[in-house]
Structure 1
Amino acid sequence: MILVTGGLGMIGAHTAAALVDRGEEVVITAHRATEVPSFLDGRVTVEALDATDREAFLALADRHEIRDIVHLAGSIPEDDPVEFFRRDTAGIFNALEAARTWRVRRFAVASSIGVYTGRSEVPWTEDLDLPMVDLPHAIVAFKKAVEPLTMFGLAGSGVHPVLLRIGSTWGPLMDPVSAFNLIPPAVGALRRGEQPPALHAEDGGDFGYAPDTGRAIALLMTAPSLKHSVYNVSSGYRYTHRELADALRAAIPGARVSLLDGRSTGVDGDPYLDISRLRAETGFAPQFDVMGAVAHYVAWRAANSR
């Protein structure tokens, strides 16, 4: 059985679904979110768990025979990031202790595309050194810190660490007004008959659609063996706002999407993730391009609140 913490979040739920699709038994943990999406209903075991509760976390093994862990549980920072760091650090420590105590085969944890901040190369590859620079968000700072904590925490344990440097993922179950991706808020505005803010046509960046992201993680967890401990997880594609506008107009009749010429800055080449390593070791290929992802998401939102 594979444990997915944070399994009712966007990436966690799609990861759990993809694992079940591959014939795995899955137990997910849920804390703040409680609504099971339709594509998971009746397919997974749900455990209520605050990942910061050490005893409750370790007690999961009393009820389930857990072979692998995908640790995706996390929270949103308050104004004081110290409380966020304290809470989510407790969660990762408990997950690492569980991995060692249960002697699981593989332990995957969510990192972020943001750890590459400061690198000028495009696309970003796993072998790049991570610079010490000002980071864009407390969540990115935490994800960057999680990487060495995980590697040292599992050293000598026999557990294979898998650091998931997840790209700019969006899709079903994302907060419709999320500040982390412009597409769900734009879809929401257009569905209300409003016009979203104008976009520069040649701006864009990394593109990951949640069902594809979940399937990539599932492939990493079920591969017979892995050669590395760090994997970029995304589509491996740099999209543009011009492509997004075309997709929105196709999916939402009458959609008014304004484009500004060129780019918002004079810098060429928005960063995105190279996924050659993921492709080579798992055979992953994204099933959704921009047009297909937007059409799928618009249809989903017609029947679901997020």
Structure 2
Amino acid sequence: MHDMTVMVTGGAGYIGSHAVLALLDAGYKVVVVDNLVTGFDWAVDDRATLIECAIEEEDRVRAAIRGYHVKAIMHFAGSVVVPESVSDPLKYYRNNTAASRSLIESAVVEHVPHFIFSSTAATYGTPTTATVSETSPTVPINPYGTSKLMTEMMLRDVAAAHPINYAALRYFNVAGADPQGRSGQSTDGATHLIKVAVEAATGKRDAVAIFGTDFDTPDGTGVRDYIHVSDLAAAHVAALERLIAEPRRNHTLNAGYGRGYSVNEVLDAVDRITNAKIVRRPEGRRPGDPAALIADNAAILRTLDWVPERADLDLIVSDALAWERTLSERA
């Protein structure tokens, strides 16, 4: 058991709510800060304390850090829709970069020693190789990726100037849901393939669009590295434990399995599990979509005490499907 309190921003959202579960299950105390603009209060486990406010509300955030004796911050809050970042860049620089600057300052002022940041493979932009490592060039091609990379840069500079260490985890394609059915991807208008596919499988959509069938990949559709959200949440707890064990070291790590699946392979898995056929609608490529994006995950496996437990496409799809059916019952 840990007598440590962790503040989780965006803890009412998809990945954040799973990190809250992983922290609580590991014995940490948790305070969630979420403005509930895209999150859901029911997604926050009852064992955690929910404070409904924005991370840039510095007085409230700092009072919470003091009042709950917060010793680490896990930062998931922000905006995550890539096409929207292109049409409304200032929203992303406000909600991701500027709000993160405020949160990091609160951490420094209140002497929080550890900070874990939810970053993204979008920091790499369009890679020249199918597999990307942490040393690959970071040349984001949209404001979403840039807004996250700017936060990584702030953390690097702040950790050099102040007694705080950090881990930035660069996620690949997060999917699935808590195997115990406690949380899952609940947002309307999702753009993530597995979410869209299980919506189609449960009758919420009549077809799944395939954006690009002429990529240089084995079957012509885009290849991505899908990571189960529960494994990703466990990686955050492992990252926190590494920061505590080595208070002067910082880490920037890819969070993926190092294995890619094409759009067609994902849809085949859904068809296999439901014993039905999703209608597939081929469409043109989306701007900026690379043919393949797969994590070189050697560094995270070497650095953290973390072994993925659900690194199986059928498991990811099954958990996502079970959650989608739960949502249908809630409606």
TM-score range relative to shorter protein: 0.7 to 0.9
Q: Who is 1:182 aligned against? A: 193
Once structures 1 and 2 are overlaid, which stretch shifts more, 143-152 or 289-298? 143-152
Rounded Cα–Cα distance in structure 2 between residues aligned with 1:36 and 1:240: 33
**2:157 is the counterpart of 1:152:** yes
Rounded Cα–Cα distance in structure 2 between residues aligned with 1:215 and 1:88: 23
Rounded Cα–Cα distance in structure 2 between residues aligned with 1:9 and 1:188: 19
Equivalent residues in 2 for 1:42-53 (5 A)?
42-53=46-57
Rounded Cα–Cα distance in structure 1 between residues aligned with 2:65 and 2:172: 31
The letter for the 2-side match of 1:225 is E
**2:144 is the counterpart of 1:139:** yes
Per-residue CA distance 1:25-80 (angstroms, 9 max, x = gap)? 1111121224222xx43221111111121111111123201111111111365743
Rounded Cα–Cα distance in structure 1 between residues aligned with 2:291 and 2:69: 46
The letter for the 1-side match of 2:76 is L
Rounded Cα–Cα distance in structure 1 between residues aligned with 2:66 and 2:236: 26
Rounded Cα–Cα distance in structure 1 between residues aligned with 2:220 and 2:137: 28
Distance 1:84 1:243, change over 3 A: closer
What is the Cα deviation at residue 258 of structure 1? 4.6
What is the Cα deviation at residue 234 of structure 1? 2.1
What is the Cα deviation at residue 287 of structure 1? 2.1
Q: TM-score, normalised by structure 2?
A: 0.80
Q: Who is 1:102 aligned against? A: 110
Rounded Cα–Cα distance in structure 2 between residues aligned with 1:155 and 1:141: 21
**2:155 is the counterpart of 1:162:** no
Percent of aligned positions with the same letter in both sequences? 22
Q: Which runs of 5+ in 2 are unaligned?
A: 177-183, 214-218
Q: Who is 1:64 aligned against? A: 68
Per-residue CA distance 1:191-241 (angstroms, 9 max, x = gap)? 117332357545321212222211111211123338542111122221123
Equivalent residues in 2 for 1:137-286 (5 A)?
137-171=142-176, 172-179=184-191, 181-192=192-203, 194-197=206-209, 200=213, 201=219, 203=221, 204-223=223-242, 224-225=245-246, 228-256=250-278, 258=280, 270-286=292-308
**2:316 is the counterpart of 1:293:** yes
Q: Who is 1:119 aligned against? A: 127
Do 2:131 and 2:293's aligned partners in 1 also have CA atoms closer than 8 Å? yes
Alpha-carbon RMSD: 2.7
What is the Cα deviation at residue 160 of structure 1? 0.5
Rounded Cα–Cα distance in structure 2 between residues aligned with 1:87 and 1:205: 26
Rounded Cα–Cα distance in structure 2 between residues aligned with 1:304 and 1:127: 40
1:36 alignment partner, SS class: helix
Do 1:2 and 1:69's aligned partners in 2 also have CA atoms closer than 8 Å? yes
Distance 1:175 1:65, change over 3 A: same
Q: How many residues align?
A: 296
Per-residue CA distance 1:106-126 (angstroms, 9 max, x = gap)? 111122101111431231111
Q: Who is 2:325 aligned against? A: 302
Distance 1:234 1:36, change over 3 A: farther
The letter for the 2-side match of 1:283 is D
What is the Cα deviation at residue 291 of structure 1? 0.5
Once structures 1 and 2 are overlaid, which stretch shifts more, 99-108 or 197-206? 197-206
Q: TM-score, normalised by structure 1?
A: 0.86
What is the Cα deviation at residue 247 of structure 1? 1.6
Rounded Cα–Cα distance in structure 2 between residues aligned with 1:249 and 1:83: 38
Rounded Cα–Cα distance in structure 1 between residues aligned with 2:157 and 2:304: 25
Rounded Cα–Cα distance in structure 1 between residues aligned with 2:291 and 2:210: 20
